[in-house]
Amino acid sequence: MTEARDIRVVAAGFLFFVGIGGAGIRNALGWWGWGAAIAAATVITIVWLVRERPRPRLPYSLIAWLALSALSLIWSAYPLSTLMGVGAQWLAVLFAIPMAATLSRAQLSIALGAALRWILGLSFLFELIVSWFVRHPVAPLWLGIDWEDSLKMHQWSRNVLFVDGKIQGIVGNSTALATVAAVAVIVFAIQMVDQWNPRGKRTWDTGWLVIAVGVVLMTRSAGVLVALLAAAAVLLLVLALRAATTRRMRITIAAVAIAAAAAALIAVTFFSEQLLGLLGKDSTLTNRTEIWDIVIGVADDRPVLGWGWVSYWTPWTEPFTDLVTINGVVQTHAHNAWLDVWLQLGIVGLIVFAVFIIRTLIRAWFAAVDRRRLSRTIEAPYDATSVLPLLVITLLLVQTASESHLLVEGWWLVLATLAIKLKTDALRDPARL
């Protein structure tokens, strides 16, 4: 329990909450309130860095990605927007450094879990208040109190808790809330089975796990459900490899996994319409194919280096001014992280980002399937938290096919934290990459 009471864990929980719940802070407190939260997070991070002077090991591929996004200021079609996007991206990495360099995996799990509980808990409370007392849709504070004058895309709550249950929570988007809940399922499940978790605390974690699963089901996000299934498949593979006692058993398990992946690829290729029907989606993937066609056309005008980094699109600058409008809603990202990377940083950006993701996945894989060495001849037992980076990254990576959340704000903070943590731990343990 001392780890849970560590002031650094509390600070990390706040940083995760500001990152992942940023939209909720903006909706509730306005842009000035969100700015104050970012300022507080920055001060906490700087004090943390000054006091502890950590020695993190940033992956070279992450450094290359940060450098490329900053260099895009040179050729950006919207330098001011690029400067803002780069600043936000680098600030998130700054937040990640002390967390990754000074906290254990268990402490990171506790901090992330605390942030997710606050977001889910406040989301339920908010939607309950709207449905019981307000009884009409609610707009974010920064749009003012006149709902009739606000845009459909800016609905904070649609007042549907007792109608169809597809709530948006404090983050104001059902898919974003579903992603929070899906990551929470992974974190809470790992905490529930962690051998160091007190028995009484496990009951608490079980309750929150039920809540997280409930939110995933209520939000009915097909992309999130597919991502959770992918994470579950990866978990089964890891557990099977951990249980294997011989090299032959591992080869057999690997062969079965490859065959299953091939079967899934064939199913997606030849039976996509039937699978989409099972998920309640049409062939346009809720208009995503239209968005992708437009983005591909614009990206093809600057295919090598892109238009310049921006993260979320800024609709007040070209080429994003009314670039994509679906059912009256102005889109602010490509709904595909890889297309967004190509649009903003071109083929070069795709290569750099792919290398970063692959290297991070490799480190996460070996952290999950290999035991940590205590000495040259002694290995530590497996622990539950060692699979957390792999499962979270898998879930977020699968989601990149339909969302761009991995590139911005909270999930970029989570990815950067895990990448730096994995690299730092790997260098401390020569048996790892």
Tell me, what's the pLDDT at 279? 64
Diameter over CA atoms, the chain: 69
Burial category of 278 from C-beta neighbours within 10 Å (exposed 0-12, middle 13-18, buried 19 and up): exposed
Tell me, what's the pLDDT at 162? 87
Structure tokens at 128: 């309950």
Pseudo-torsion of CA 16, 18, 22, 25, nearest 10°? 140
* Model confidence pLDDT, tens digit, residues 229-248: 999 999 999 999 888 878 88
**In contact, 381 and 72? CB cutoff 8 Å:** no
DSSP 3-state helix, strand, coil percentages of the chain (rounded to 5)? 70, 0, 30
d(C-alpha 172, C-alpha 137), whole Å: 11
**In contact, 405 and 343? CB cutoff 8 Å:** no
Structure tokens at 287: 């208009």
| Domain-wise residue ranges, the chain | 2-428
Tell me, what's the pLDDT at 149? 47
DSSP codes of every residue in 283-302: TTTTTHHHHHHHHHHHHTTS
- Average pLDDT of the chain to the nearest whole number: 87
Q: How confident is the model at residue 86 (pLDDT cuts 50, 70, 90)?
A: very high
| Reported pTM | 0.92
Tell me, what's the pLDDT at 193? 84
d(C-alpha 424, C-alpha 431), whole Å: 13
Q: Which residue has the higher pLDDT, 259 or 375?
A: 259
DSSP codes of every residue in 247-297: HHHHHHHHHHHHHHHHHHHHHHHHSHHHHHHHTT--TTTTTHHHHHHHHHH
Structure tokens at 245: 């006692």
User: What average pLDDT score do residues 380-408 get?
Assistant: 90
HSE-up of residue 410 (Cα within 13 Å, Cβ side): 25
User: What average pLDDT score do residues 164-169 get?
Assistant: 88
User: What average pLDDT score do residues 273-301 get?
Assistant: 77
Does position 2 have pLDDT exceeding 90, yes or no?
no
**Neighbour count for residue 249 (Cβ, 10 Å):** 13
